[in-house]
Amino acid sequence: MAAAPPRDVDDLDANAFLSDTADLVAIESPTADLAGCAAALDRFVALAAERTGRRAELVTVGGCRHALIRPEGPTKVLLLGHVDTVWPLGTLARWPFTVDGDHVTGPGVFDMKAGLAMGLHATAAIGCPDGVGMLVTTDEETGSSTSQALIEEVARACDVVLVLEPSAPGGAVKHVRKGVSLYRADITGRAAHAGLEPEKGVNALMELAAQVPAVAALADPAVGTTVTPTVATAGTTMNTVPASAMFRIDVRAARTDELDRLRGALAGLQPTHPGATVAVEHLGTRPPLEGVRSAALLARHDVVRERLGIVLPPPATSGGGSDGNFTAGVGTDTLDGLGAVGDGAHAEGEHITLQATLDGTRLLAGLLADLLGAGSS
């Protein structure tokens, strides 16, 4: 299908936008349901062909399918998003897609199926020029284990990345995202009968109780670094000194050097009880999206925003990670939070504000046109 002729950035069809968003929300796609994610991805691919004339390449990694739309020539701007959600199958039956004036709700509409529709309609609004690529994944909500390498590969080959994740409150873009490192600490003690000879045991739960506050104290609030023990288990039976224990650790920091500091500190944990051992496993890291990687794009975004007369709050820093962390991590300039305007991500009743989201689509289209017209290197 041939691409639509160029149109003015203001020429957006709200009904078509709502229809496309409704189509995507109507297909439940929790990350763990590969069939649901594949069906939602297929619908996105069909909408992309209809709205932009572009055909997507389907890439399967580890059983998960992802969609990549490549331009004819080099990718100057990559639009990045995901179609998976946190909502289990059956949620739509009690909470359907609903439009009530400016309020649009449904599971996954804010995070981030409306953002995918924004990407398609913004691209169509400027005539689907060459140079715009789009990558849509299906495992972002659980850490992008199958898509990370693909994201990084595509990001290295493009000039800039615009992430269609939901905006911050009021439509603010996200110019800084903290990096996320996850760890598992395993503690080994020695079992003994709790009534007959507890002194012969090494209590792994007691060692865990000593380690948790020590780990939490590694945080540095002055620079926004958080260290949060999250899940913990210990012991086997009521009458046995626990021989093993485990806890997980969530680390978030806005700077790479802080993530490196924490990795070293956690690797060096020492037991406090004689006979106990502590072993820390690094489970993975999303590098931070630092301001140096977003500054140039943010400046151009602001110029376009002012030209279009759109008023937004100041850019935001987010403690949550996205796939934009990976693109920034390979050195590609990245601006995040260019998706839907609304509230309630991952919460019952998540919603978008229609007019503000359409304004965001106009702004996204204007930014695309600016980057393609002025060159984005």
Per-residue HEC secondary structure of 152-195 comes to HHHHHCCCEEEECCCCEHHHECEEEECEEEEEEEEEECECCECC
- The C-alpha atoms of residue 97 and residue 343 are separated, in whole angstroms, by 15
- Position 12 scores a pLDDT of 86
Asked if the model's pLDDT at residue 5 lies above 70, the reply is: no
Active site residue 84: yes
Question: Which of 20, 28, 111, 140 is an active site residue?
Answer: 140
Closest C-alpha among 45, 26, 50, 46 to residue 36: 26
Q: What is the pLDDT of residues 81-139, one digit of tens each?
A: 999 999 999 999 999 999 999 999 999 999 999 999 999 999 999 999 999 999 999 99
Q: Is the pLDDT of residue 2 over 50?
A: no
d(CA 229, CA 213) in angstroms, rounded, equals 9
**Domain spanning 14-178+288-374, CATH architecture:** 3-Layer(aba) Sandwich (3.40)
Return the amino acid letter for 334.
T
pTM comes to 0.88
CATH of range 179-286; options 2.60.40.1930, 3.30.70.360, 1.10.600.10, 2.60.40.10: 3.30.70.360
Give the residue with greater pLDDT, 374 vs 181.
181
- What is the predicted pLDDT for the residue at 9? 56
Per-residue confidence band for 375, with pLDDT thresholds at 50, 70 and 90: very low
Task: Spot the catalytic one: 28, 84, 336, 370.
Answer: 84
User: Is the model more confident about 377 or about 20?
Assistant: 20
> Percent helix, strand and coil across the chain, each rounded to 5?
40, 25, 35
Question: Can the peptide bond before residue 118 be classed as cis, meaning omega within 30 degrees of 0?
Answer: no
Average the pLDDT over each of 23-27, 243-247, 283-287 and give the range with the smallest value.
Answer: 283-287
Instruction: Quote the distance between the C-alpha of residue 137 and its chain's center.
Output: 10
Per residue in 6-65, pLDDT (tens digit) is: 344 566 899 999 999 999 999 999 999 999 999 999 999 999 999 999 999 999 999 999
Residues in CB range of 94: below 8 A, 6 or more apart: none
Task: Please determine whether the domains at 14-178+288-374 and 179-286 fall in the same fold group of CATH.
Answer: no
The CA angle 196-202-203, to the nearest 5 degrees, is: 90
pLDDT digits (tens, 9 = 90+) for 317-370: 998 889 999 999 999 999 999 999 999 999 999 999 999 999 999 999 999 999
- Taking only the tens place, the pLDDT of each residue in 265-280 is 999 999 999 999 999 9
Q: How far is CA 25 from CA 28, 106, 249, in A?
A: 7, 7, 33
pLDDT at residue 319 in the model: 87
Identify the pLDDT of residue 321: 87
Can you give the pLDDT at residue 10? 60
Beta-sheet strands, E only, within 6-159: 57-61, 64-69, 77-82, 98-100, 103-105, 132-137
- Cα dihedral angle (231, 237, 243, 246), rounded to 10 degrees? -10
Residues 283-301 have a mean pLDDT of 95
Query: What residue segments make up the domains of the chain, in order of their start?
Result: 14-178+288-374, 179-286
Task: Check if 140 is active-site.
Answer: yes
Mean model confidence pLDDT for the chain: 94
